[in-house]
Structure 1
Amino acid sequence: MSYQDKSEYTSINTDQGKLFIVATPIGNLKDITLRALEVLESVDWVAAEDTRHSKKLLQHYGLNKKLISLHEHNELERRNELLALLNAGEQGALISDAGTPLISDPGYHLVNLLRQEHIQVEPIPGPSAMIAALSAAGLPTDRFSFEGFLPAKKQKRLHVLEGLTQESRTMVFYESPHRLLESLATFVAAFGNDREIVVAKELTKQFELFFSGTVEEALRFFETNADKVRGEFVFILKGAEAAEPNAITDADQLIQLLLQQALPVKQISEIVAAHLGLKKKAVYQRVLEIK
């Protein structure tokens, strides 16, 4: 067990170094915070996902820092090197290519190790594509879930989305341009044509865009506007509406009736879903529960 109180650092060895988790701009370079600049100027080194990309950012602000590569392919090995530097009393910063580190970016294994070793880790909050998109999407934000990037393969992607069809919270996804149309088509397959979605691209940049509509409308829009399929995308999907109590009661009664006829579970779920306008996957699970 460890306990970190900034006023006392009860179980933190203050003779050791410190790692700052520094959020950097997702597009507009003016979005960096004054505190982030102060920290980046003060540290001994900066661990970055892409050192070439991060070097341009640092040079833009006149910062000449030692850059250490830390990405998904070398993090498990590199974390021990960084631990040694911090144990030697050095101060370091972790940044990603854009936004807040660890949010669909490398850094978890490093931070997890440092916490186990009681090395101080301090967040320097700032830009996040997820939060920026949510704040301007116009969908409910009182409860939401972050789903990150979906699987690249179609069937795995569909399986993940089908498992979310009854999720009532607003859902946030990241997507790359080369999979945009495939992913939107999978959203249509999983959620139907009419689920509300907001697709945000190039946040804080010159060609920032917010598209609001149904998942089918979003797919058609980007199919017919190939010039818009560029940059990084955030999907904000409206959660499922809560089922009416009468619909639940009616479904249970119909399921029980069909079970008495010794029909297969799959067939029962298809009949009930079609008759009451419910999701097949949810009905299938309910049939199993009642059976």
Structure 2
Amino acid sequence: MALLKILASPISGNYSQLPAYALDEIKNADLIIGEERKTTLRFLAAVGCREHSYRLLNEHSTDEEKKELIAAVSSCGTAILFSDAGTPCVADPGYDFVDMCINAGAEVRSLNAVSAVTAALSVSGFYAESFLFAGFPPKDKQERAKFFNHMKNTKQTAVIFERPYALVRTLEELKGIGKRVSLSINLSMPDEKNYRGTATDILGLLPEGIKAPFAVVIEGKK
């Protein structure tokens, strides 16, 4: 299975600030995907990978070019998508490409996540030019019902957190919103796992009794 990793890069643009484990991942990747040629070459030089194979993806990329890029990702072992500065796909080009990769059967994971919010958004493939961070659902039963009703009615892509022991309960509550969701478990850890679909679909895929740190992205409208 093809693997696409979404790399959060330093907002300063100083790629030497990347941690050692991220540099190792970059050096071991088969393909690097950047926004602009000049910046991508500077990135590869900074991380000691001048000879690495690379491709470009930006707001000018056509659907046909994205399909060709997906084919390139599918034919290699691991590809890394990075932004000039910050996290790809969050108010940044790439979310639709990630969406296409997921639909094509690729596994998508975060790399060097600096925030669970932006990391979860970047691997979801959902529109994130703007989004709602809704935080944790209330514990009170009535307030909690209002919270999930708001998630049902909002047009924005939304990110929510909940405690590890409430993972299954949260998905059960999300069944009624009628939207696709992306569930990210153990973000940026070696055993990171991302699921996308309806809450019902995802519940059928989870190991029984699972308890783990997670974030949920609820799909909004473009």
Structure scoring higher RCO (CA < 8 A, sep ≥ 6) equals 2
Report which of the two has the higher share of helix.
1
Normalised by the length of structure 2, the TM-score is 0.47
Rg comparison, structure with higher value: 1
